[in-house]
Structure 1
Amino acid sequence: MKDYKIMGINLPLYFALLAILLVAIGMDVLPAGMIGAFAFMMIVGALLDVIGNNTPIVKTFFGGGPIVIIFGSAALAYYNILPESVVKNVNTFMKGGGFLDFYIAALITGSILGMNKKLLIKASLRYFPTIIGGVAVSLAFVALGGLLFGQAPGESIAYIGIPIMGGGMGAGAVPISQVFANGLGIPAEQILSKLVPAVALGNAMAIVAGGLLDKLGKARPELTGNGKLMEVGDEELHDKEDPNEKLELSDYGVGIAIACVFFVFGVIVASLFKKATGVDIHSYAWMIISVAVAKALNLLPRKFEKACAVWYNFVAKNWTAALLMGIGIAYTDLGQVLAAMTPLYIFLCFLVVLGAVVGTMIVGKLMGFYPIEAALTAGLCMANMGGTGDVAVLTAAHRMELMPFAQISSRLGGAFIILLATLLAPMVF
């Protein structure tokens, strides 16, 4: 244990930091604003992340750290274990302080600009229709299943189908809750409390389904390429690194600036579009479109694209646990979550994952893909919890070589779901 680290910090120093933080909380003198919020969310979030990633069953089927962070922090607030001042400060930082938007801006910009352009175009031409097929069938299954038991199709799609297919928590359920709140006039925290359990259950079911598809491939060899989705050379899947292309510390600032300005551009377009048409499409959607267009048309120098990708990686590595802590405290009502976990809810989650598999196997076959590989990447890697879910699903299926396509599902597929939620919220839900 002497070499074990949390947040890259050895245990004696980490626990010293934690002790100082707990003393400040106990004395109710934790600073207000960003300093106190960041200190609490990063230090405690990192500990909950370690617990989740080392807890049997939870780490294998339920997403590990992210789920424990969200529900653990939600429990700390729900059962009044945290002082009201800490809860209030985190709420202010997440909502009024805009930390959530800041994180999402980095995520959208960096994840899309960091992709290989050829892979992006190839995804839109052949792979993306397969994703759409999986989404369509999964939403149809959950709508019909809900209708069978007296639940409105729109409710089943909005609170179960969309979040499961949305790409996880930070890139899926969180921005989706903002989109729904914007379109429906319902508080985002009330919506997110309904979305979180669906994401967790969908992730668990997707991992189990990955293992079952591997067994199906052994029984029916004609359905699988044994890790090969289609005829694509490795050179098309990865960017060629320029040895002279070195990033400096100042390039992180460039990445921050570009991400923030893309976010501002999305807000401008959303405002103009609403004034012109009366239709309110969330700024996240316009931001996704604008970043994808910039990538496809090479509007930014390669170095700036890389700067945005590196900035996103920094944010994702260092602040994801902090973000999830904020989600748990500011956006997750544990009482509503517990009330949502009914047998019908679990059954509908199963229908979403089943639909994702069936839809992508059928459409993937039509696109010239092997059905099992199509279901794993375009289906289950949409239904899981983003990057960690991708690793878990492909590990269960023994097909880690499919990771580039899994990343398309997690990045562009998740962005597509946000766009879809934006369009459906005012019309259907």
Structure 2
Amino acid sequence: MKTTTAARQTTELDRSPLWPNAWWKLMEYRIGIIPFPIYCLLLALIIGFVSSGKVPTDISVSIAILAVGGFTCAEFGKRLPLVRHIGAAAIFATFIPSYLAFSHLLPDLVLKNVVEFTKTSNFLYLFIASIIVGSILSMDRTILIQGFLKIFIPLAAGTVVASIVGTLVGSMLGLGAFHTFFYIVVPIMAGGVGEGAIPLSIGYSSILSQSQGDIFAQVLPSVMLGSLTAILLAGSLNFVGKKYPHLTGEGRLQEGENSSFNAAEDGIPAGTTIAHIAAAGITAISLYMVGMMCFKLFGFPAPVAMLFVAVVFKLSRAVSPQLEQASFVVYKFFSTAVTYPLLFAIGASMTPWDKLVAAFNITNLITIIATVVTLMATGFYVGRRLNMYPIEAAIVNACHSGQGGTGDVAILTAANRMQLMPFAQISTRIGGAIVVTLSLFALSQLK
């Protein structure tokens, strides 16, 4: 009876007038998440504001600009043959706006809007908070703690082996062991720009009595190109995982790890209300504020502190099942709707194209690629020996060579494994802090 009714409704729809059915079909054709007619409207409005000489700076206009820019760039990447399988959408959404900003092809009024909104709102951390809290609260409790304990082993092994291999390759290419290690290998694994390149340049400046600005200009290209290499390789591993499914858990770090809510991935789980979803959102924000207070009091990175608080909440059953389900919905919303606009914002406002290009000489390129490949290959091998999914272990190690939190987003987007964000943050923040600390200590002893 239900089938007959549905068939009759479909027939009636096909016979109905052109309006509104043809329009409805057009509304279901989307650029990213944006219905095509709305995309055209937004594009026309943005052009109109630019032509008038004033682009409003309120949040609504900024969101529209980022959505149009991010999803446009991602669509180009998704439609290109071959490279679409290795993370082209994430790469395009990050590096096209970087080039457009550098070449002054992005209108100054639009660029100003994007830069001001990105830096004043700091919505990168809202994204990370929602992804971390949602993914942790939807994990299996037992597997969660096992995963956090295990991930340090492939991470540590990868760091040591990559340091040795990268330094040897750079030395053989004539860069010198000292320069290769401290100015190429270490910056790659230092945790990005804010948490890695800047503290390194300050420390190097103090120890070597050199200009901090000059040193920063030397280490930054390695951070940028290392992150780009990791994005490409993570996208390639996603492609490999589709060919050899036994090597991947599709975002699960080890066997037996499951989310209770994956079946409802494309909708809202039964029993979850809008109030639950709103409560989950404010819970994520509250936990991030706890992380900020930990940073203020103890100097511990806010995302990592938030991560551990979320783990404690999960393991102690401090969050109700309904709130856990709602947290998963928040996670899915941000991963679906916010990722590419965020990457566009990062590319336009925080990714200097000239610094990236500066690293493109053959000796630097080979050394950086050798370092990142070794880091990920070691994670793959060690992870497999520990009964972890080797592709997931390699991707988490890839985040150790990423551009901080922004790199984590791009790498996990390219790999289509955003649920690994909690482990990526450990790799980036804790791994990077250890590398910076040990490197500065080693340099002080060698001086």
- TM-score where L is the length of structure 2: 0.73
Equivalence for 1:195: 223
Report if the CA contact (8 A) 1:4-1:10 is conserved. Answer: yes
Q: Aligned to 1:6, which of 9, 14, 31?
A: 31
Shift of 1:54: 0.9
Residue 103 of structure 1 is aligned with which of 124, 127, 130? 127
1:254–1:134 distance in 2 versus 1, CA, 3 Å? same
Q: Using the TM superposition, name which of 349-358 and 101-110 deviates more.
A: 349-358
1:244-296 CA-partner distances (Å, limit 9, x unpaired): 952211223212211111111112112221xxxxxx43222222222223223
Partner in structure 2 of residue 38 of structure 1? 63
The answer on 1:252 being equivalent to 2:277 is yes
- Partner amino acid, structure 1, of 2:136: I
The aligned length equals 382
- TM superposition shift of 1:95: 1.2
Match of 2:287 among 257, 262, 266: 262
Range with bigger deviation, 140-149 or 292-301: 140-149
Give % identity: 21
- Structure 2: distance between partners of 1:266 and 1:182: 21
In structure 1, list runs of 5 or more residues that go unmatched: 164-175, 218-223, 274-279, 392-405
In the TM superposition, what are the counterparts of 1:31-180 in structure 2 within 5 Å?
A: 31-61=56-86, 63-126=87-150, 128-146=152-170, 148=172, 149-150=175-176, 151-161=179-189, 176-180=192-196
* Contact 1:144 1:153 survives alignment (8 Å): no
Code of the aligned partner of 2:275: S
CA contact (8 A) 1:18 1:44 kept: no
Q: Tell me, yes or no, if structure 1 residue 239 matches structure 2 residue 257.
A: no
Cα distance in structure 2, aligned partners of 1:92 and 1:39 = 14
Q: Which residue is equivalent to 2:12?
A: none
Displacement of 1:357 in angstroms is 5.1
Query: CA separation of 1:411/1:389 partners in 2, compared to 1, >3 Å: closer, same or farther?
Result: farther
Contact 1:110 1:309 in 2 (8 A): yes
Structure 2 partner of 1:272: 297
CA distances 1:116-163 after superposition (whole Å, capped 9, x unpaired): 222213323556534443344234433443455222423323433456
Distance 1:91 1:272, change over 3 A: same
Where do residues 295-334 of structure 1 align in structure 2 (5 Å cutoff)? 295-334=314-353
For the aligned residues, what is the CA RMSD? 3.7
Q: 2:362: which partner in 1?
A: 343
Please tell me whether the aligned partners of residues 133 and 359 of structure 1 are also in contact (alpha carbons under 8 angstroms): yes
Residues of 2 paired with 1:409 and 1:25: CA distance?
39
Q: Contact 2:230–2:372 at 8 Å: present in 1 too?
A: yes
Shift of 1:4: 3.3
- Cα offset, 1:93, TM superposition: 1.2
Query: 2-side partners of 1:76 and 1:358: how far apart?
Result: 34
Q: Normalising to structure 1: TM-score of the pair?
A: 0.75
Q: Distance in 2 between matches of 1:357 and 1:412?
A: 14
**In 2, Cα distance between equivalents of 1:255 and 1:389:** 27
Structure showing greater Rg? 2
Q: Is structure 2 residue 302 aligned with structure 1 residue 283?
A: yes
2:45 aligned partner: 20
**Aligned twin of 2:393:** 378
Which of 415, 423, 429 aligns to 2:426? It is 415
Distance 1:205-1:297 versus aligned 2 partners, 3 A rule: same
Bigger shift: 112-121 or 67-76? 112-121
Cα deviations across residues 369-428 of structure 1 (Å, max 9, x unaligned)?
A: 3xxx7543312564275444435xxxxxxxxxxxxxx77755414433222213433552
The SS at the match of 2:158 is helix
Instruction: Tell me whether 81-90 or 21-30 shows the greater mean CA deviation.
Output: 81-90
Q: Could you tell me how far apart the structure 2 residues matched to 1:338 and 1:227 are?
A: 33
Deviates further, 406-415 or 29-38: 406-415
Does the 8 Å contact 2:288/2:302 carry over to 1? Answer: yes
Partner of 2:338, secondary structure, is helix
8 A Cα contact 2:78 2:84, kept in partner: yes
**1:417 counterpart letter in structure 2:** T
